[in-house]
Amino acid sequence: IAGITQAPTSQILAAGRRMTLRCTQDMRHNAMYWYRQDLGLGLRLIHYSNTAGTTGKGEVPDGYSVSRANTDDFPLTLASAVPSQTSVYFCATSLDTSTDTQYFGPGTRLTVL
Amino acid sequence: QKEVEQDPGPLSVPEGAIVSLNCTYSNSAFQYFMWYRQYSRKGPELLMYTYSSGNKEDGRFTAQVDKSSKYISLFIRDSQPSDSATYLCAMSGGSIIQGAQKLVFGQGTRLTINP
């Protein structure tokens, strides 16, 4: 693994279904983030994690949950998907949350019908 | 008013031209300024990082910060078709979310360099 991987690359999902987006890093960074990117709105922070075992809410957390059981993995779960969650989702990492430089994964393109 | 404003473009210039990309911001507490480049269907990648006011040069790229005007710029000299991408400005130092630095992004400017 080189850097940050995300899975799936893309997904079409029926409304009401549960979906987990996966993010794995091998950089041993403490902090991890989930963003969504929408046309005209830019990147918006959904949830973040300072370190394994801790998580926090970003700007747009409603409808999403995260967990951080270990350093490398930071899954994002949509418990009951809605069409407004159609977006491109990016996972990012930084050495720690006091460091501004963030590194991004390749993204997951999600369509909720 | 958004904390960070960036003209979404699109901006189209001929190869070899000098490109100027800009962002304005409203939060005077911002201290760290970044430019990310995002190719189509890829994640953003860090291009330039500067702290406070001043210039920083890296090859054909120059980042400029004017804190007094709350204005940052990215200049690309001798632009190449491979520079075609969306460029996002980002900044932080303005607020903390439960102990984490909040990174605020501009909308991104879509740039095309025509051969």
DSSP 8-state class, residue A84: G
Q: Which residue has the higher pLDDT, B115 or B94?
A: B115
Q: Domains in chain B, please, with CATH?
A: 4-114 (2.60.40.10)
The answer for A 60-89 residues in CB contact with B (under 8 A) is none
- Is it the case that residue B98 has pLDDT exceeding 90? no
- Residues B8-55: tens digit of each pLDDT: 789 999 999 999 999 999 988 888 899 999 999 999 999 998 888 889
Q: Which residue has the higher pLDDT, A51 or B95?
A: A51
Using alpha carbons only, give the angle B84, B87, B89 rounded to the nearest 5 degrees: 165
Report, as ranges of residue numbers, the positions in chain A whose pLDDT lies below 50. none
Q: How many residues does chain B have?
A: 115
- Spell out which residues of chain A touch residue B102, defining contact as CB-CB under 8 Å: 45
Place of tokens 């460029």: B87
pLDDT given for residue B100 in this prediction: 55
Q: Which residue has the higher pLDDT, A73 or B96?
A: A73
Place of tokens 């899954």: A75
User: What sign has the CA pseudo-torsion A2, A31, B86, B57?
Assistant: negative
- Spell out which residues of chain A touch residue B105, defining contact as CB-CB under 8 Å: 42-43
SS (H, E, C) B25-88: ECCCCCCEEEEEEECCCCCCEEEEEEECCEEEEECCEEEEEECCCCEEEEEECCCCHHHCEEEE
pLDDT given for residue A113 in this prediction: 96
CATH code of the domain made up of A4-112: 2.60.40.10
